[in-house]
Structure formats: C-alpha cells, structure tokens
Structure 1
C-alpha cells in the first residue's frame, strides 16, 4: 500500500533547474531591459553625434564665447501678496557673430520693451528659486530670439539678479 501512495502523489517540489528558468530568466530580462533603457536615455549609445554636438551651426566650438551685447539693467515692480517688491536684472546677450551683433543692437528698443513686459508680469514666487529663474531665462531668450531673428542670439546671461 505504501507503494501505491507513492505512485499516486505527484512530486510537489520543483527541481532547481525549473526554479531558475521560472524566476531567474524573467529577472535577468527585466534587468537587461532596464539597463538598455538607462543607456538609451543617458545617450551612452549615441556616439555618432558627439563630435557634431560640440560644434555650433557656425562651426565654432561651444567653449568659445561669441560676441556679447550688454543691455542696461532693468528694474521693475513685482507683486508679492499685499506688498510690492523690486526686481533688478542685468542681461547680456551672446550673439552668433559681429553682423548679428549689429542687427541685435538695432533692435534694442524692441527687446527692452519685451523684457520689461515679461519681467513686470512676474510675481515674487515665480523668481525666488532656481527653477523660476531658469524659466524666466528661457522665456526671455525665446522672446528675444523671436524679435532678433532666427539664430542671431545664441544665449542669454543674467549679469545681475536682485529681488528686494
């Protein structure tokens, strides 16, 4: 009778090889997919564009600084709850080349008007942290580029930034 019970009851423990196949292989696949995604997102797999990325559209190395156009400091009122605060911003524009510099200098009144309007619409909470300052910089650069022409202004630098 003991022999009959052994024949009727199937073996319930899986072999180590089957465990490895059912658990190890899916875990390994997940790790490989995660690693591949990480490399893709970090750009480690894109080696063809690295030399091109170091140079701008004019052939100048990104470490070179283009001609600079300094603008006057801007002082505007900004709102903070029930009080008024002041924002003082100094801006310097980096342009593509000397001809771009002349073209941007001709548009300084339009650029100044746009900068004053953009700064005056900000609130203290919009500019008190790094994220707000970076957003302000991006907004100013986009507006100035639209006024100066495509590719004329390559970057914008805050040379002074005071909130009081």
Structure 2
C-alpha cells in the first residue's frame, strides 16, 4: 500500500516538474502578463477621461453660479459708501460721584450716518438726542471712563440708544472727538 502511495507522489511530483506549454494556467499567466500593460493604459485613459468630465461639469456649475449671483446695484453701493459725519455741540455734564467733590465730563461727539435721510431725521430729533446723551452721561461714574474698554462700552451704549430713536434710519457709529474729565 505504501508503494502505491509513493508511486502516486512520485508521479505527481514528476508531472509538476515538467513544463507544459499549452496548459490553461500557463496561458492565463502569459495572457495576464501580456495584457497587464494594456490594462494599465486603459485604466489610465479611463481615469483621465473621468477626471476631465468631472472637472468640466464642475467648471460649468461654477460658471453658472457666478453668472446668477446677485451683484450689488450702483444705488446700493452709493448708499453704503455715502458716509456723512454730523458734529454735535460739545456736551458738559456732572459725573455721578459718591463724595462731595464734583467731577465734570466734557465730551465732543460726531455721529457717522449712512444717508441724507438720516440727517433730516437727526435734525428733527436733535433736542431728544441731546437729552438722551446728557441723561446717559450724567449717570456715569469717573471709573466708567477709565481705559479704552470703558469708552468702548459708552460708545456702544450711545449707539444702541440713538438707533432706537432714529428708526427706521440708522446711525453707523458714534465717534468721540475729545474727552475731558475734571
């Protein structure tokens, strides 16, 4: 029995050692080796065509989005670029102090407006605006005016209060010309 198994093993070994020219495995390997460069060329061409198509489609949509985008009209640009500065008279107020010594604040304010309609509204509301500014400034303490952060808070608060009066028009900014605390 052992001899039969050995014979079979030897015959299989000899069969595997012999190169077979027309066997399907060799042919398929040769085909794979021969066709591999062709497949690489085909894949490269296919990928480059796909990239070209995708980039063309992307470029088309990008161009269309640029074409359909809303460009600002010349009137809108004129309103945005039209800055008018309205100079208020200097304001002198007493500051809120807890001691007997009185302290004063002298402040020069300029308002930045965005159009001429706001100037007309501001002229009509000037007594109300002066009263609002003076009422707010009288409540300040000398410590509130310390540093740039304090002035920035005052500027923001004045801008907020003034824009409530000026609706629907808008004051763009409150600018301090000079500030004197005594």
Is this a same-fold pair by TM over 0.5? yes
Q: How many residues align?
A: 107
Residue 142 (1) aligns with residue 127 (2): no
Structure 2 spans left out of the alignment, 5+ residues = 1-75
Q: 1:71 to 1:102 in 2, by over 3 A?
A: same
Q: Which residue of 2 aligns with 1:74?
A: 91
Superposed CA RMSD in Å reads: 2.1
Q: Which residue of 2 aligns with 1:97?
A: 115
For 1:65 and 1:162, the matched residues in 2 are separated by 31
| Structure of greater Rg | 2
Q: How far is 1:107 from its partner?
A: 0.7
Q: Which residue of 1 aligns with 2:180?
A: 162
| Structure having the larger proportion of residues in strand | 1
TM normalised by structure 1 equals 0.59
8 Å contact 1:65–1:94 — kept in the other structure?
no
| Structure having the larger proportion of residues in helix | 2
SS of corresponding position for 1:99: helix
Q: Which residue of 1 aligns with 2:43?
A: none
Q: Structure 1: which 4+ aligned runs deviate by more than 3 Å?
A: none
Structure 1 spans left out of the alignment, 5+ residues = 1-57
8 Å contact 2:79–2:114 — kept in the other structure?
no
